[in-house]
């Protein structure tokens, strides 16, 4: 007797195996791609040997102070000392104290005595120009420390000064207020920043005349058991060339210092 062939019925559990496998492979692929997404590449502002770098073209060896764009006056000669506390003629061109343009970069090297004097390096690199909500232009700055991407923030400037922003819509944090001369001051949180002097600064990038010294933090006075003082130095046509924080406690003074080792700047 011929038996009737029973129709084949697939195991319900097996019907889900292929779709589940495909989905798992897709998810694993996405995770792999995201995990391997590269950090922003480190900008080429390496200055182990400034003379051999493309940045050297923008970093004069003696006094890295460019000629005045308005008068055409040349920078001071190598042996010419700047007069202390001489106001810097900025002629309303607020961009001179911190040249902001995509591609600009500053390389700093320094040490922190609190960490045993271990050297460090970091780079500020302007990645792009962006609009500030409500009007104005900001510049996105990427921070690289010891060769690794670490952070990002924004700089902006106008005829009143230079400002730093954590995000485009964040409140501005004054970096330097104009006129850039001794006596100018402004609040930074609970602190009062002020221009201390116009002086000369020497860093690995060269000797800079007419550097504007700004005291950004001061707690206590030298001679007290505990005191802190922080300074930044800005040079027309270059930007920030040095920062230094001194902290005195327990009978000793720790120093955190970063100095300009190279720069590549232009006006936007």
Least confident of 31-40, 52-61, 172-181, 208-217: 52-61
Average pLDDT, the chain: 74
Segment 215-236, tens digit of pLDDT: 988 776 766 777 888 999 999 8
Q: Which of 14-18, 56-60, 126-130, 133-137 has the highest mean pLDDT?
A: 126-130
Q: Which of 43-47, 66-70, 200-204 has the highest mean pLDDT?
A: 200-204
pLDDT at 125: 95
- pTM listed for this prediction: 0.68
Structural domains in the chain, sorted by start: 50-264 (2.40.360)
Between 55 and 148, the more confident residue is 148
pLDDT at 18: 53
With bands split at pLDDT 50, 70 and 90, how would you rate the model's confidence at 145?
very high
The DSSP-derived string for the chain is -PPPPPPP---TTGGGHHHHHHHHHHHHHHHHHHHTPPPPPPPS---SSGGGSGGGGGS-SS---PPPTTT-PPPPPTTPPPPTTPPP--TT-GGGGS---TT-EEEEEEEEGGGTSEEEEEEEEEEEEEEPTTS-EEEEEEEEETTEEEEEEEEEEETTEEEEESSTTSPPEEEEESS-STT-EEEETTEEEEEEEEEEEEETTEEEEEEEEEEEEEES-BTBSSEEEEEEEEETTTEEEEEEEEEEETTEEEEEEEEEEEEE----
Segment 190-210, tens digit of pLDDT: 788 999 999 999 999 999 988
Segment 119-143, tens digit of pLDDT: 999 999 999 999 999 889 999 999 9
pLDDT at 240: 95
With bands split at pLDDT 50, 70 and 90, how would you rate the model's confidence at 2?
low
pLDDT at 134: 87
Average pLDDT, stretch 18-47?
48
């Amino acid at each position: 007797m011929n038996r009737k062939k029973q129709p084949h019925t697939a195991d319900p559990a097996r019907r889900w195996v292929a779709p589940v496998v495909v989905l798992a492979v897709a998810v694993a692929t996405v995770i792999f791609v995201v995990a391997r997404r590269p950090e922003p590449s480190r900008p080429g502002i390496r200055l182990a040997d400034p003379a051999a770098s493309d940045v050297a073209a923008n970093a004069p060896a003696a006094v890295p102070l460019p000629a005045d764009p308005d008068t055409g006056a040349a920078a001071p000669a190598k042996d010419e000392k700047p007069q202390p506390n001489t106001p810097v003629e900025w002629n309303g061109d607020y961009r001179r104290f911190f040249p902001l343009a995509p591609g600009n970069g500053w390389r700093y090297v320094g040490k922190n005595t609190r960490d045993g004097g271990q050297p460090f390096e970091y780079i500020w690199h302007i990645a792009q120009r962006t609009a500030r909500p409500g009007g104005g232009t900001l510049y996105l700055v990427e921070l690289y420390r010891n060769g690794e991407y670490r952070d990002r923030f924004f700089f902006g400037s106008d005829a009143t000064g230079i400002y730093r922003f954590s995000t485009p819509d964040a409140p501005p944090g004054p970096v330097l207020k104009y006129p850039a001369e001794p006596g100018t001051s402004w609040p930074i949180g609970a602190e009062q920043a002020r221009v201390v002097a116009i002086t000369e600064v020497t860093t690995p990038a060269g000797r800079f005349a007419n550097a504007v010294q700004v005291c950004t933090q001061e707690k206590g006075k030298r001679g007290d058991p505990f005191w802190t003082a922080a300074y930044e130095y800005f040079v027309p046509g270059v930007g920030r060339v040095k920062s230094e924080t001194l902290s005195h406690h327990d009978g000793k003074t720790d120093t955190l210092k970063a100095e300009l080792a190279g720069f590549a700047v232009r006006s936007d």
